Amino acid sequence: MWRILDPGIESVRRRLALNFGCDPEEIAITRNASESLENCQLGLNLKAGDEVLTTNQDYPRMLTAWKQRARRDGIILKQISIPLKLKRPEEIVDIFARNITSRTKVMHFCHITNLSGQIYPVRELCHLARSRGIEAIVDGAHAYAHFPFKHADLDCDFYGTSLHKWLTAPFGTGMLYVRKAKIPHLWALMASEERNDANIRKFEEIGTHPSANALAINEALDFYEGIGAERKAARLRYLFHRWAKRLEANPRVRIHTSYDPRQSCGLALFDIEGLDIAKLSIHLESNCRIITTMIVHDEFRGLRITPNVYTTVREIDMFAEAVEQYIEKQGSST
């Protein structure tokens, strides 16, 4: 592991950096987005009374990390609400700007939320944070290899993502980007020697580990780059629009995700007025072998539909037809 396998991970670091558009010395290979982001959440120097500004749509595990810091260190976690299906993405920047206070030290937000598929204007949010002397942490768990972007498009200081989702790398692979100037000032989740303070590899100090997962990232990158980021995103948007526009022909169906390509790609949320959406999810899996994700939030609910490049048009049409038949059957039984 130490002498033969792990040295090969440096090629993975270089490939990820080339794909993301940054220096390889700014990329740490982790096990998932949670590990990447908690390096940032628990590694920043914060004191009692410091405020973290995030949303009530951020990933539960990341909110749990901030709540633990609130219990342990006395920081303040402030969650703001972001409406569904915005007219323009800049509205998100306006909402964050209105909620910044003199205590705000960190802004934490998703690149794309796992709940509704809303893409956030990351570059503008990062610039807002930097202009106020605030650290910005970007959760890219569902963004990387989902739709095309480079670091220059984001201009972020901290970015964490999973690689098993849209890149289709093995489970147990993730990536953490930290701007080089920020590395010495961010504590690693697991202890590393002082001489590694400015070394991105300090975030990879996890003890004995399987190297095969990380080495296989190169194969996933080959597959992704062979398709092409633009072609993949176009396919995913096509699949989303195909099922969503068909279903919303029924006035009871509400699509909660914008069709604006600046605000969405392949992940989307819908609901049906007057129907128990949880029962629909169970029906689709039990009777049609179609897996959906039930989303229950304090402000909305629905089924999350997430096809990938291997999803066929026929499968999309089968899903839409199954929903239409369910609506018709439920309507006739009431």
The H or E element spanning position 311 is none
Cα of first residue to Cα of last residue in the chain, in angstroms, is 63
Dihedral sign, CA of 99, 100, 105, 107?
Answer: positive
Dihedral-angle region of residue 292 (phi above 0 means left; psi in -120 to 50 means alpha; beta otherwise): beta
Look at residue 248 and give its three-state secondary structure: coil
Same structural domain, 82 and 207: yes
In tens, the pLDDT along 267-290 reads: 999 999 999 999 999 999 999 999
Q: What 3-state DSSP class applies to 137?
A: strand
pLDDT at 333 over 70: no
Among 208, 226, 244, which residue terminates a domain?
Answer: 226
Structure confidence at residue 124 as a pLDDT band (50, 70, 90): very high
Q: Is residue 31 one of the residues assigned to a domain? A: yes
Domain identity same for 43 and 125: yes
Q: Give the confidence band of 87 by pLDDT, cuts at 50, 70, 90.
A: very high
* Residue 210 binned pLDDT confidence (cut-offs 50, 70, 90): confident
The whole-number average pLDDT for the span 296-319 is 96
Reply yes or no on whether the pLDDT at 328 is more than 90. Answer: yes
Residue ranges making up the domain that contains 102: 6-226
Give the pLDDT mean for 35-49: 98
| pLDDT for res 332 | 59
Please state the domain count of the chain.
Answer: 2
Q: Are residues 114 and 196 in the same domain?
A: yes
Same domain, 308 and 292: yes
Contact in structure between 117 and 267 (CB atoms under 8 Å): yes
Binned at pLDDT 50, 70 and 90, residue 74 comes out as: very high
Any domain includes 264:
yes
199 within domain boundaries: yes
Are residues 118 and 253 both part of a single domain?
no
Residue range 213-223: average pLDDT?
96
> Under a CB-based contact definition with an 8 Å cutoff, are residues 295 and 269 in contact?
yes
Burial of 223 (0-12, 13-18, 19+ CB in 10 A): middle
User: If you average pLDDT over residues 176-203, what whole number do you get?
Assistant: 97
Residue 52 placed within a domain: yes
pLDDT tops 70 at residue 181: yes
Indicate whether 198 and 283 sit together in one domain. Answer: no
Tell me the C-alpha distance between 16 and 109, whole Å: 22
Question: Same domain, yes or no, for 137 and 179?
Answer: yes
Residue 1 falls within a domain, yes or no? no
| Mean pLDDT, rounded, of the chain | 96
**Do residues 139 and 35 make contact, with C-beta atoms less than 8 angstroms apart?**
no
Are 222 and 233 contained in the same domain?
A: no
Tell me, what CATH number does 294's domain have?
A: 3.90.1150.10
Question: Could you tell me if 179 and 204 lie in one domain?
Answer: yes
pLDDT at 221 (0 to 100) = 98
Q: Say if residue 203 is in the same domain as residue 270.
A: no
- Whether residues 217 and 276 share a domain: the answer is no
Looking at the fold, whether 210 and 233 belong to one and the same domain comes out as no
Q: Select from 199, 226, 253 the last residue of a domain.
A: 226
What count of other Cβ atoms lies within 10 Å of the Cβ of residue 237? Answer: 17
Which of 191, 226, 261 is the last residue in one of the domains? 226
pTM: 0.95
